């Protein structure tokens, strides 16, 4: 496979996109940003920014001329529109497509028909069919939960109020990676295009459990009294699925499905014992680094 030099990002203005943009720029790829609407001063002047219509193959094909690889970091309702993005990428001669997934267990076949995961499975199937026909190649990055989100938001722990709800007994293992390293991993994929062709690539900076965090937090601050509750991931998942069946498409309902599967440990393969960290140049967190992260949250 010839070298990838020119890379486009779709959705660079969201949560993941800026980190991917930084990772690609630092790795010296020529970067083009695709956006629904240009905002003055949003990107460095060295970055080419093109307005696109994600519902139009023609608009996307025109924007993708001369692009070797397309990294999608689109969110929300745009996830499903990636079939159009893929068709345009093929029409423009793009060699590699990385869909917007960046998940924990998004690639687990057991979850393919579940809300949230089904859209991602549909996109994977679309690009895989095209790849089988030799029209494009693909890579999916599985990276676990975003470390930054898990520590900044009351997902695993409510550090601010010293509360924790342990999923199952709190020992479920989960891979996690920080957003800057996701950007670095994407650059690593494209620098190793042959070794990452048509496969799921896994990165994980740390495999954590809620009990591991709790033990470190209690060791660092024995004065804090934690309010501890427990829930079963299977009941939260049931609630989420029943909510969707009843027509409740609210964020909390979707979050029930995401959290109960991502935190179900080995049930959906959320802890990556084997990773591509070395290939991608991702260093794992040391116990000391991890303790520092927790100490920062404890104040
Ligand atoms: N593993 C985890 O813990 C975790 C956590 C969060 C997200 N994720 C995954 O990461 C990926 C990116 O998520 P994100 O949170 O970065 O996405 P986001 O911030 O919601 O959206 C990213 C960008 O997509 C573009 N976009 C195009 N069409 C859109 C539409 N119809 N609606 C909304 N945005 C649209 C927007 O850029 P323009 O305005 O410039 O066009 C937007 O800034 C998703 O696949 C998500 O599932 C994983």
CATH of the domain at 128: 3.40.50.720
Rounded CA-CA distance 69/29 in Å is 10
- Residue 2 is predicted with a pLDDT of 67
Q: Which atom of ligand 1 is nearest to the CA of 36?
A: 41
Whether the CB of 77 sits within 6 Å of ligand 1: yes
174 pocket-lining for ligand 1 (C-beta < 6 Å)? no
Residue 36 near ligand 1, beta carbon < 6 Å: yes
Q: Give the Cα separation of 298 and 293 in Å (integer).
A: 9
Ligand 1 atom with minimal separation from the 100 CA:
45
Whole-number Å distance, alpha carbon 78 to ligand 1 midpoint, is: 8
Mean pLDDT by 10 residues, the chain (299 residues): 90 97 97 95 92 96 98 93 97 98 95 94 98 98 96 93 96 97 98 98 97 97 96 96 96 94 93 97 97 94
Q: How far is CA 250 from CA 145, 155, 254, 255, 294, in A?
A: 21, 17, 7, 9, 31
287 plus 163 within the same structural domain: yes
Beta bridge partners of 39: none
Contacts of 46 (CB under 8 A, 6+ apart): 25
Q: How far is the CA of 15 from the centre of ligand 1 (A)?
A: 6
Residue 157 in any domain: the answer is yes
193 within a domain of the structure (yes/no) = yes
Quote the CA–CA distance of 69 and 67 in Å, as a whole number: 6
H-helix or E-strand containing 50? Answer: strand 48-51
**What pLDDT score was predicted for residue 77?**
84
Domain co-membership, 96 together with 244: no
Domain count, the chain: 2
100: CA distance to ligand 1 center in Å? 8
Q: What 3-state DSSP class applies to 16?
A: coil
Does residue 271 contact residue 130 with C-beta atoms inside 8 Å?
A: no
Containing domain of residue 263, as a range?
146-175+205-272+279-298
Residues 36 and 21 grouped into a single domain = yes
Are 109 and 218 members of one domain? no
Ligand 1 mutation target, pool 15, 22, 37, 260, most atoms within 8 A of CB:
15
Pick the residue whose CA is nearest to atom 20 on ligand 1: 75
How many Cβ atoms from other residues are within 10 Å of residue 267's Cβ? Answer: 17
In a domain, 84, yes or no: yes
Q: How far apart are the first and last CA of the chain?
A: 49
The SS3 call for residue 62 is helix
Confidence at residue 196, expressed as pLDDT on a 0 to 100 scale: 98
Question: Does one domain contain both 154 and 292?
Answer: yes
What length does the chain have?
Answer: 299
- pLDDT score for 1: 59
Q: Which residues pair with 34 in a beta bridge?
A: 10, 50
Q: Is the CB of 149 under 6 A from ligand 1?
A: yes
Q: Which pLDDT score, from 0 to 100, does residue 110 have?
A: 95
Work out which ligand 1 atom sits closest to the CA atom of 17: 16
**Residue 23: which H helix or E strand, with range?**
helix 17-26
Q: Is 215 found in the same domain as 135?
A: no
Residues 14 and 125 placed together within one structural domain of the fold: yes
| Ligand 1, atom nearest to 99 Cα | 45
Domain-located, residue 117:
yes
Residue 152, token pair as written in the block: 């900044």
Does residue 133 sit in the same domain as residue 17? yes
48 with 65, same domain?
A: yes
Does residue 1 form part of some domain? no
Answer yes or no: do 33 and 87 share one domain: yes
Is the same domain home to 113 and 247?
Answer: no
| Together in a domain, 136 and 266 | no
Q: Assign residue 256 the CATH number of its domain.
A: 3.90.25
Q: Residue 286: left (phi > 0), alpha (psi -120 to 50), or beta? A: beta
């Amino acid at each position: 496979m010839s070298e990838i030099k020119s890379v486009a990002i779709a959705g660079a203005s969201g949560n993941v996109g800026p980190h991917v943009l930084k990772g690609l720029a630092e790795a010296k790829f020529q970067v083009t940003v695709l956006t629904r609407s240009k905002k003055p001063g949003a990107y460095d002047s060295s970055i080419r920014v093109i307005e696109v219509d994600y519902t139009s193959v023609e608009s996307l094909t025109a924007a993708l001329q001369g692009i070797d690889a397309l990294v999608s970091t689109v969110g929300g309702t745009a996830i499903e529109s990636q079939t159009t993005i893929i068709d345009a990428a093929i029409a423009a001669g793009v060699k590699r497509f990385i869909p917007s997934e960046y998940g924990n267990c998004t690639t687990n076949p057991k979850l393919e028909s579940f809300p949230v995961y089904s859209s991602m499975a549909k996109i994977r199937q679309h690009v895989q069919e095209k790849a089988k026909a030799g029209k494009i190649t693909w890579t999916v990055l599985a990276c676990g939960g975003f470390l930054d989100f898990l520590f900044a938001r009351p997902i695993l722990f409510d550090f601010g109020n010293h509360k924790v709800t342990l999923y199952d007994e709190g020992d479920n293992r989960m891979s996690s990676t920080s957003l800057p390293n996701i950007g670095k991993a994407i650059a690593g994929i494209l620098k190793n295009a042959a070794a990452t062709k048509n496969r799921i690539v896994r990165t994980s900076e740390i495999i954590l459990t809620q009990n591991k965090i709790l033990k470190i937090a209690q060791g660092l601050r024995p004065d804090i009294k934690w309010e501890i509750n427990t829930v079963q991931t299977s009941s939260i998942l049931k609630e989420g699925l029943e909510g969707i069946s009843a027509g409740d498409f609210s964020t909390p309902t979707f979050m029930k499905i995401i959290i109960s599967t991502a935190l179900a440990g080995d049930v959906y393969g959320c802890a990556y014992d084997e990773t591509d960290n070395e290939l991608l140049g991702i260093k794992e967190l040391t116990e000391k680094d991890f303790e520092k992260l927790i100490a920062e949250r404890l104040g």
